[in-house]
Amino acid sequence: MNRDWLRKDFYRLLDVDEDADQAVIKKSYRRLAQKLHPDANPSDDTAAERFKEVSEAYSVLSDPDRRKEYDQVRAMGAGGFGGGGFDRGSGNFGGGGQVRFEDIVGGFRGGGLGDLFGFGGARRGPRRGADVSAALDLTFEQAVKGATTAVAVDSDVRCGRCGGNGAEPGTQIDVCGGCGGTGTVASNQGFFSFTNPCRQCGGSGRMIDSPCAGCRGAGHERKARTIKVKIPPGVKDGNTIRLRGRGSPGLQGGPPGDLLVKLRVAAHPRFTRRGDDLVLKLPVSFTEAALGAKVEVPTLNGPVNLKIPAGTPSGKTFRVRRKGVQRRRGGPGDLLVTVSVTVPPKLPRDARKMLEEFRDRYETDDPRENF
Ligand SMILES: [Zn+2]
Ligand SMILES: [Zn+2]
């Protein structure tokens, strides 16, 4: 329970009536949480703040005992504070003990949306480690064919000196005398009782005699690591690969977070991609285009032969089957070859004469007649 309940309107935050039953509250919360979840709104601080408020509101209203307490506080706030109502700041006692944002996100990611009751009560105890982000540069070929490579990550790892418990090796870890190891202390304020994190141990429930010299008691240290990553074929620039459990270590026995590797794919001097197809612009001479030819076409797996039929116009595209990007499922895409007819920048005198002759005898149609 919490003093700043006085200025918070959990019913309004959850968009439900004061007499809403649990099913209605849960449904409304689920809708809002999905809409406002940080995963769905990256770098949106307003959504993050609202998600936090909605989660706090739900953690109270979904618990019948806490909801009853809240209703009592609310009745007192409306009647006893000059009718100032909620959200006007008049009842702000600045009390602590709010549900921490990290706890909620951790609960979400650990249990999924179905585990709605997972974070109503427990505020301490095992917590999932943070997700860690890293960027990885790939060549065009690596992205198309897949690769096993390494990504450099600078993140928290479990302290090697203390093994993560924060105590200098060989020294004692005691149960906190302030809270008896529970991490929270209750205090009575007239009619109400308040639960707050224990100040002596900071909510951990333990007292460390000598903090670890390696991590100053934090249990983790910053370290540069190199992590092997298997890139599946067909990834695209901007894709993110999630490596489960390779993020920051969990707290108090919680599971580790994930490593999110964002891929940056370099351009290729010849090829571009259109979905799972590779696209190539291929120069051909004007005699190859006019007379037909068999030409060698590069692919990412060595050259193949392509037959250019006589009378091929510049800009025509040929499809070479299965020489594109390997799909996750099914075979590879195709290679699309668009020919571009080249013209010699300079002609020898006799060649020019031959072409003039050709023009005068055969080039009778106007090429712009039907365009
Ligand atoms: Zn340590
Ligand atoms: Zn304590």
The 10s digit of each residue's pLDDT in 253-307 is 788 899 999 999 999 999 999 999 999 999 999 999 999 999 999 999 999 999 9
The highest-confidence range among 130-144, 178-192, 244-258, by mean pLDDT, is 130-144
Ion ligand 1: residues, CB < 5 A: 159, 161-162, 212, 214-215
Proximal ligand: closest to the CA of 215: 1
For Cα atoms 224, 240, 155, give the angle at the middle one, nearest 5 degrees.
Answer: 20
| High-pLDDT (> 90) share of the chain, % | 40
Condensed to tens digits (0 to 9), the pLDDT of residues 273-283 reads 999 999 999 99
Integer CA distances (angstroms), 95 to 3, 77, 121, 185, 217, in order: 5, 15, 18, 14, 27
Condensed to tens digits (0 to 9), the pLDDT of residues 80-123 reads 433 333 333 333 333 333 333 333 333 333 333 333 333 333 34
The confidence band for 328, taking pLDDT boundaries of 50, 70 and 90, is confident
pLDDT of residue 133: 93
* Distance of alpha carbon 257 from alpha carbon 259, whole angstroms: 7
Residues 97 and 7: beta-carbon distance below 8 Å: no
Average pLDDT of span 133-157: 93
CA 10 to centroid of ligand 2, rounded, Å? 30
* Distance of alpha carbon 82 from alpha carbon 265, whole angstroms: 62
Proximal ligand: closest to the CA of 218: 1
Q: Where are the alpha helices (DSSP H) in the chain?
A: 10-14, 22-36, 45-61, 64-80, 101-111, 140-145, 286-291, 349-362
Proximal ligand: closest to the CA of 157: 1
Proximal ligand: closest to the CA of 158: 1
pLDDT of residue 337: 98
Tokens, residue 276: 């799972």
> Is 20's pLDDT higher than 50?
yes
CA 124 to centroid of ligand 2, rounded, Å? 12
Domains in the chain with CATH codes = 3-119 (1.10.287.110), 132-172+209-265 (2.60.260.20), 271-362 (2.60.260.20)
For the chain, the straight-line distance linking the first and the last C-alpha, in angstroms and rounded, comes to: 78
Proximal ligand: closest to the CA of 184: 2
Among 88-92, 177-181, 241-245, 334-338, the minimum mean pLDDT is found in: 88-92
Residues 6+ apart with CB under 8 A from 329: none
CA 104 to centroid of ligand 1, rounded, Å? 26
Condensed to tens digits (0 to 9), the pLDDT of residues 189-226 reads 777 777 888 888 878 888 888 999 998 888 888 889 89
CA 208 to centroid of ligand 1, rounded, Å? 12
pLDDT of residue 3: 60
* Distance of alpha carbon 344 from alpha carbon 88, whole angstroms: 79
CA 179 to centroid of ligand 2, rounded, Å? 4
CA 33 to centroid of ligand 2, rounded, Å? 32
- Of the two residues 127 and 324, the one the predictor is more confident about is 324
pLDDT of residue 125: 61
Q: For residue 124, report the phi and psi dihedrals to the nearest 5 degrees.
A: -130, -170
CA 355 to centroid of ligand 1, rounded, Å? 83
> Is 311's pLDDT higher than 90?
yes
Average pLDDT of span 53-63: 87
Average pLDDT of span 242-248: 91
Closest listed residue to residue 136, CA positions, set 268, 261, 321, 244: 261
Average pLDDT of span 325-347: 92
Q: Is the dihedral of CA 129, 133, 139, 140 positive or negative?
A: positive
Q: Whose structure tokens read 């013209």?
A: 343
Residues 10 and 60: beta-carbon distance below 8 Å: yes
Proximal ligand: closest to the CA of 167: 1
Proximal ligand: closest to the CA of 249: 1
> Is 63's pLDDT higher than 70?
yes
Average pLDDT of span 302-327: 95
pLDDT of residue 181: 84
pLDDT of residue 300: 93
CA 195 to centroid of ligand 2, rounded, Å? 12
User: Beta strand 277-285 with 335-342: parallel, antiparallel or unpaired?
Assistant: parallel
CA 201 to centroid of ligand 2, rounded, Å? 4
CA 213 to centroid of ligand 1, rounded, Å? 6
pLDDT of residue 77: 59
CA 218 to centroid of ligand 2, rounded, Å? 16
- Of the two residues 2 and 266, the one the predictor is more confident about is 266
Residues 68 and 110: beta-carbon distance below 8 Å: no
Closest listed residue to residue 282, CA positions, set 346, 336, 344, 345: 336
Angle between helices 45-61 and 64-80 (to 10 degrees): 110
- Of the two residues 20 and 74, the one the predictor is more confident about is 20
Tokens, residue 99: 């549900």
